Structure 1
Amino acid sequence: MARMTKPPDDTGRVILGLDAAERAERRRQLLLDTALEMFATAGFAGTTIEALCQTALVGNKAFYEHFRNKEECYVALLQRCTERTFTRVVEAIPHDDVDEETTTRALVGALAHALTDDPRVSIVTFGVAGGITVRIDKLRRENRRGASSLVVSTWERSGDDLPENVGAIALAVIGGLFGLIGDELDRVDYRPDPSAVDELITNMGDFVLAVRRGMH
């Protein structure tokens, strides 16, 4: 396994208005931006560190300052995609006292758009960029459990008595929602048109609301 390379101690230098830490973070984000494109098009197995660095116009040494290997880069990219998706969903939670159906449709709409507006994000998130490792697959499952916690907290806002196995139900709902999104993206080769996304959001909302009715 490649070892992390310690970056040079130039913290006192300011170049183009950026100090060393800011320049390092800019390189890291550039590498992740490039990784998003390459993993989505060439796949995990088909992307090499050398090609990634050449495309990003970043030296191999800079890559190893941030990531130990290609898998760690993919993990960081997946985490970034997940965090941005969760942010969009949380921001969609209505602040007013609205009914549960309105809240549900707002949340599934935000989730659908977060995963379909940029086809590359959906490819990385759903792990279809071939050659995914056990560690990456485990992280994807952990992210789904995190999403299910958000579902539970949304249901708790209703004030209803929830079943003891609500966590398992929420996890199944997340799996179902991701299944609907994945099937639709696969059907249209990861390039859905607006009308297809609207129909997808309707189906996702109907699914979640049907589950909720079964819990009463």
Structure 2
Amino acid sequence: MQERRERLISAAYSLYADLGFPDTTIEKLCAVARISNRAFYECFTGREELMQVVYNRCVRDNLAVVSKAVEQAPNTLLGRIEAGVAAYIQFVTEEPRRARILHLEVRRAGDCLTSSRQAAVAGFTQIIETNLIEAPDTDGADPHLLVLGMIGALQELLIEWVLADDPPSVDQVVKTAVHIYRRSLGN
């Protein structure tokens, strides 16, 4: 059962990114995974649950990479910002399917992934609030809301990278995101 489940996760990772969540049917998933529809339902309740598993795995791996990068960064605010932002963007963009799942298909999947998206944002918010907030001069803005805004800005930069006919370079996305974070945190 575990082996079939992993084949389905692998198939979903490719199909959700290549065809998009709305156009990926259970039949297509089963054909790529080389299992029957009945076997699919022994592993997952539906393609939404499968998308949730794929998304959560990508988020878990990304959180680990970002946490490690921030921990190993120079012990300055700018050093931690640069390390965390670069690690996030490089992890997401080194595999374009991952970028598409994390920043586009999760939205196309709709309400079934709302709680997973909120948990992911909470995880990244905690990293930022724990490691990057050093009594910023926010002109009265709520620091937590500021962090949420910075996360949203980064998500939009990556959506642009995924969808643009002529996407910006990864280096340019990193530089832009670092600039946003630096300015938002008063550095």
Normalized against structure 1, the TM-score is what? 0.76
CA gap of 1:130–1:30, structure 2 versus 1, over 3 A, is: same
Which residue number corresponds to residue 43 of structure 1? 20
On the 8 A contact 2:78/2:182 being kept in 1, the answer is yes
Residue of structure 2 in register with 1:95 after alignment: 72
Amino acid of the residue matched to residue 95 of structure 2?
D
1:109 CA displacement: 0.5
CA offsets per residue over residues 26-64 of structure 1, 9 Å max, x none?
322221111011111222221111221111112333322
- Greater displacement, 58-67 / 160-169: 160-169
| Residue 180 (structure 2) aligned to one of 207, 210, 214 | 207
Which structure dedicates a bigger proportion of its chain to helix?
2
Pick aligned residue for 2:94 from 112, 117, 124: 117
Look at both structures and tell me which one has the larger radius of gyration over its CA atoms.
1
Q: Which amino acid aligns with 1:86?
A: L
Q: How does 1:139-158 map to 2 (within 5 A)?
A: 139-156=116-133, 158=134
8 Å CA contact 1:149, 1:170 repeated in 2: no
Deviation at 1:140, TM superposition (A): 1.9
Letter in 2 for 1:199: Q
Contact 2:150 2:181 (C-alpha < 8 Å) held by counterparts: yes
Runs of 4+ aligned residues of structure 1 deviating over 4 Å after TM superposition are 161-164
Tell me the residue number matched to 1:197: 170
Contact 1:43 1:129 in 2 (8 A): no
Q: Give the Cα separation in 2 of the matches to 1:48 and 1:97.
A: 46
Query: In 2, Cα distance between the equivalents of 1:189 and 1:25?
Result: 40
- The equivalences for 1:29-178 within 5 A come to 29-95=6-72, 98-128=75-105, 131-156=108-133, 158=134, 160=135, 165-178=142-155
Secondary structure at the residue paired with 2:132? helix
Q: Is this contact kept in 2: 1:149–1:167, CA < 8 A?
A: no
Gaps in structure 1 of 5+ consecutive residues: 1-23
Q: Structure 2 CA distance, aligned partners of 1:129 and 1:177?
A: 15
For normalisation by structure 2, the TM-score amounts to 0.86
2:87 and 2:14 mapped to 1: Cα distance?
22
Question: Aligned partner of 2:30: which letter?
Answer: C
Read off the aligned partner of 1:135 and give its amino acid letter: C
Matched-pair contact (CA < 8 Å) for 2:59–2:102:
yes
Supply the AA of the counterpart residue of 1:202.
Answer: K
Question: Identity, % of aligned pairs?
Answer: 23
2:161 to 184, 201, 204: 184
**1:88–1:114 contact (8 Å) kept in structure 2:** yes
- The whole-number CA distance in structure 2 between the counterparts of 1:96 and 1:43 is 36
Deviation at 1:128, TM superposition (A): 3.6
- Please list the CA deviations of residues 106-134 of structure 1 after superposition, one character each: whole Å capped at 9, or x if unmatched: 11011101211111111111134785231
Query: In angstroms, what is the RMSD of aligned CA positions?
Result: 2.4
